């Protein structure tokens, strides 16, 4: 079991939802957390609450990623990266009016891939370079990376073409990245959350009904998951030194209709 007490971590998307819960859970284990997010208001508040540091980062910008890594290296021995930043809009393949462009234009698709896939990969490669320079722990491990994909990466809903493609890509990257990084003692795992109660679903008037309806697909318990239930798995994958190259569902047994 990895002793993460005193190590430093970066949590992307750490200002909200699954990322914020992961930042709190890691801090509770004595980890010094850099909250890396585009939302300074929420990000600063979480960092203050957990005694960590907020840094404004757009994961599509390599220079901003490097600044976050420098911050983590200042705080302690940088060993942990959690990639939770992501965007998840739904757009159908063709519009109800039969116009393909009104529904799912390619600029939109590229944006989702840019943030969810390239943002995740760029953070992985830059962080892994930094982690690879640290002193190894007793069994040769230097650190670990946890990516957040989605069950949508294997069984997307209506309108989830670009989102599912992006999350499937994160699943697909997991094993080859883990193979590459095994050479420098870094474990890599990915979590596929089911339907988790976070602001990602928006705050519109139909939001509650939408979420309640989604929760019906969960086998047991029949509800959405909580960010803390995801954060618990993030911590487990971080400390469990024999978990590697795994893509694990945390979804209450959800099966899409
Ligand atoms: P959330 O909206 O609460 O949090 C996402 C955070 O990512 C936000 O704070 C946002 O500011 C940040 N972010 C977005 N784009 C960014 C960028 N370019 N650079 C830096 N930060 C950026 O959502 P969440 O539900 O906590 O989502 C976290 C991850 O979990 C996402 O990758 C999401 O796709 C995934 N996920 C969520 C669910 C769910 O049901 N909530 C299910 C499956 C997967």
Q: Express each pLDDT in 116-141 by its tens digit.
A: 999 999 999 999 999 999 999 989 99
CA distance 17 to 85: 10
Backbone angles phi, psi at 172, to 5 degrees: -65, -30
Rounded to the nearest whole angstrom, what is the distance from the C-alpha of residue 61 to the centroid of ligand 1?
A: 17
Residue nearest to atom 17 of ligand 1 (CA): 58
- Give the pocket of ligand 1 (CB within 6 Å): 12-13, 15-19, 37-39, 57-60, 84-88, 115, 119, 148, 150, 193, 195-196, 198-200
Q: Express each pLDDT in 1-21 by its tens digit.
A: 999 999 999 999 999 999 999
pLDDT at residue 200, rounded to an integer: 86
Rounded to the nearest whole angstrom, what is the distance from the C-alpha of residue 13 to the centroid of ligand 1?
A: 6
Q: What is the ipTM of this complex?
A: 0.99
Q: Is 201 a catalytic residue?
A: no
Q: Can you name the CATH fold of 7-250?
A: Rossmann fold (3.40.50)
Question: Which two three-digit tokens encode residue 158?
Answer: 């209506």
pLDDT at residue 101, rounded to an integer: 62
Helix (H, G, I), strand (E, B) or coil at 45: helix
Rounded to two decimals, the pTM is: 0.96
Number of residues assigned to the chain? 257
């Amino acid at each position: 079991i990895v002793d993460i007490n005193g190590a430093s971590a970066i949590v992307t998307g750490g200002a909200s939802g699954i990322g914020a819960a992961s930042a709190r859970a890691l801090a509770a284990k004595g980890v010094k957390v850099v909250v890396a997010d585009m939302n300074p208001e929420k990000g600063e508040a979480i960092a203050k609450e957990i005694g960590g540091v907020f840094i404004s980062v757009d994961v599509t910008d390599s220079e901003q990623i490097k600044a976050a890594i420098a911050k983590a290296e200042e705080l302690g021995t940088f060993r942990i990266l959690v990639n939770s930043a992501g965007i998840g809009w739904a757009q159908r393949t063709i519009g109800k009016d039969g116009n393909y462009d009104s529904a799912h234009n390619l600029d939109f698709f590229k944006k989702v891939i840019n943030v969810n896939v390239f943002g995740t990969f760029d953070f992985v490669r830059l962080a892994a370079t930094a982690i690879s320079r640290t002193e190894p722990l007793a069994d040769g491990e230097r650190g670990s990376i946890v990516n957040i994909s989605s069950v949508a990466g294997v069984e997307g809903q209506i309108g989830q073409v670009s989102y599912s493609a992006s999350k499937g890509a994160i699943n697909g990257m997991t094993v080859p990245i883990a193979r590459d990084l095994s050479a420098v003692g870094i474990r890599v795992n990915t979590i596929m959350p089911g339907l988790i109660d976070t602001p990602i679903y928006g705050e519109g008037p139909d939001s509650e009904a939408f979420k309640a309806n989604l929760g019906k697909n969960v086998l047991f318990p029949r509800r959405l998951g909580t960010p803390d239930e995801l954060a618990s798995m993030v911590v487990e994958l971080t400390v469990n030194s024999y978990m590697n190259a795994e893509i694990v569902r945390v979804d209450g047994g959800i099966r899409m209709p």
